[in-house]
Homo-oligomer: A and B are copies of this chain.
Amino acid sequence: MSASVNRQIVLAARPQGAPQDSDFDLVETAVPRPGADGVLLRTLYLSLDPYMRGRMNDTKSYAKPVGLGEVMEGGAVSQVVESRHADFSPGEIVFSYSGWQDYALSDGSGLRKLDPAAAPITTALGVLGMPGMTAYTGLLNIGQPKEGETLVVAAASGAVGSAVGQIGKIKGCRVVGIAGTAEKCAFVTDELGFDACIDHRAEDFEAQLAAACPDGIDIYWENVGGRVFEAVIPLFNFFARVPVCGLIAHYNATALPEGPNQLPKLMRAVLTNRLRVQGFIVWDYAPQQAEFLDTVGGWVRDGRVKYREDIVDGLENAPRAMQGLLQGRNFGKQIIRVAAEAEV
């Protein structure tokens, strides 16, 4: 490669509320050279995911925050440009944690080779990547879907929710999605095959949700929080399960919402219905990755699990796309196309 400039998007400031353009800087550095056993990767596609909002905060969580001035973290599909590592050759396509930049070095750890013949390489960021594995492991381990149960999925047209609902259908559930526009809802029912989908921006959302769940809710896939969760609470059946995967409605919050305090309402539902509300992150289930890739890979190849991608061109547009993702402006898995695959 003749390029000598590595564009990087770094965290310039910790966002107060919704991230602003000024919270990010695009800096140009020299393309690094791999040392002994090193690999130089060029980013082809960058994944944007809601969890990244958490990395921008300096608070205790399951991963340490991105430091100010550091490159934003993120999964990517990358191409090997130069390799001094025995396992990797120029031209190979890998999943990497390259972050928001054109080029990254790797010592080979954390890289996973992708076979472009098996599935489109972008799926490694979505349905066959972290979001898909989140859906698969969280639903099966915590949700424990059973034939005939009602599964409600928040953010149903998104990367995780779309997989959750389709896996729920495969497991025999009645699946009700929740999404943010009529167009998304139509996609969720018509393309993904959910039994129903409710627009959470509708004025009578709560009544529509109740009507779509005549037998109550056995599993609620929590991705969202806020009004959606509060509408779900009265509908729980005995022994319902709530895998808590995300809370995107709250990620930009700088203070708790106004009252009344809904916490006792939830806890009363937990007690009287014997709910199981359980948070998780995908890597808690890392040993299930091979099983996930095999199972969901097969479903994707068979067309039983579909996916939708929302691809934005240009690394420089990642900050804006991230802002949109946190507002639900994406439609499907949010991906940044950073560079075209090179012929080797």
Q: What residues make up the interface of A, taking CB atoms closer than 8 Å to B?
A: 54, 60-62, 222, 225-226, 229-230, 238, 244-247, 250, 253, 255-268, 270-281, 284
Given known contacts A225-B267, A259-B261, A266-B266, A62 and B279 CB-to-CB distance under 8 angstroms:
no
A128 → chain B, closest Cβ, in Å?
24
CB distance from A189 to the nearest CB of B (A): 27
Query: Is A264 a contact of B257 with CB atoms below 8 Å?
Result: yes
A255 to B280, CA, bound (A): 32
Contacts of A258 in B (CB 8 A): 259-261
Task: Given A274-B279, A279-B275, answer yes or no on A261-B262 (Cβ-Cβ < 8 Å).
Answer: yes
Cβ-defined contact, B273 with A279, below 8 A: yes
Which residues of B lie under 8 Å from residue A255 when comparing CB positions? Answer: 260
Give the distance to chain B from A243, nearest Cβ to Cβ, in Å: 10
Q: How many copies does the complex hold?
A: 2
Tell me the minimal C-beta distance from A274 to chain B in angstroms: 4
Chain B residues near A278 (CB-CB < 8 A): 270, 274-278
**Contact, CB under 8 Å: B253 / A264:** yes
The residue in chain B whose Cβ has the minimal distance to the Cβ of A233 is B263
Residue of B nearest to A142 (CB): B276
Residues of B within 8 A of A245 (CB): 271
Nearest chain B residue, comparing its CB with the CB of A266: B263
Are B262 and A260 touching (Cβ within 8 A)? no
A264/B60 in contact, CB under 8 A: no
Q: List 8 A-B contacts (CB under 8 A).
A: A244-B267, A247-B268, A253-B264, A256-B265, A257-B264, A261-B262, A275-B278, A276-B277
Give CA–CA (A281, B229) in the complex, Å: 24
- Rounded to whole angstroms, the CA-CA distance of A272 and B261 in the bound complex is 21
Q: Which of B54, B263, B280 contacts A263 (CB 8 A)?
A: B263
By a CB distance below 8 angstroms, the chain B residues around A222 are 267
